[in-house]
Copies of this chain bind each other. A is one copy, B any other.
Amino acid sequence: MPSHKSIGRLSLYRSILNRLLRDGVNSLFSHELASLAGATPSQVRRDLMVTGYTGSPVRGYDVRDLLASIGRFLDAPESEGVALVGVGNLGRAIMAFFTGRRPSLTIQAAFDRDPYKVNRVIHGIRCHPMEDLESVLVREHVRVAIITVPAIEAQDIADRLCRAGVKGILNFAPVRLRVLPSVFVEDVDVTMSLEKVAYYSRQGNRAEGI
């Protein structure tokens, strides 16, 4: 199975290729894609090999064919429904961000405990009450979920998601979730990332002797 980094780069190649296509670029070479993605040409060739696409040594990669090949590899055969739990500021931004963006991945249900949000449609997505979490997920065969609740609630929500059959969680809460090994968790900790950037921004200055 390809590495996590390789899967991440395939997703990045796709967003780069989509932009190139919009700009009228129809083909490119592995070293060009590598340079745009901050990768090496041999990484690019190895990453793309798992999708079964090789391109032509003379004309390089055909952008449309390569996009289709990455799509067949990365995406579910049919559009995949995603649940989002926690319709606060960050949750709403994620909902707005994904609306209409990825045809293969759609946030199809949101959950919150706030009675002012429940049973409303926000950014085109219905917000259900928290107590309906399990029943909606099972009924709609949702296996991917996004957690945007406060840290203190995240483990409880993760437990409920896993019991309802969820197999992949994108976790924005600053807490390490304990889940079964069969469930994949990716953490996005915005505070941690910003603190890291701030820390290294000062180290760089010190290293330069300022």
Contacts and interface: CB of A to CB of B under 8 A. Distances in A.
A101 B143 CA distance: 32
Interface in A173-206: 174-176, 182-186, 188-205
B193 A143 contact: no
Residue among A93, A101, A208 with max Cβ neighbours from chain B (10 Å): A93
Residue among A7, A89, A188, A198 with max Cβ neighbours from chain B (10 Å): A198
Q: How many copies of this chain sit in the oligomeric assembly?
A: 2
B176 A37 contact: yes
Interface string A3-19: 01001100110011001
A58 interface: no
The size class of the interface chain A forms with chain B is 35 or more
Contact of A89 (B97, B192, B195): B97
Nearest to A197: B168
Nearest to A206: B1
A191 B102 contact: yes
Given A146-B194, A199-B7, A19 B152 contact: yes
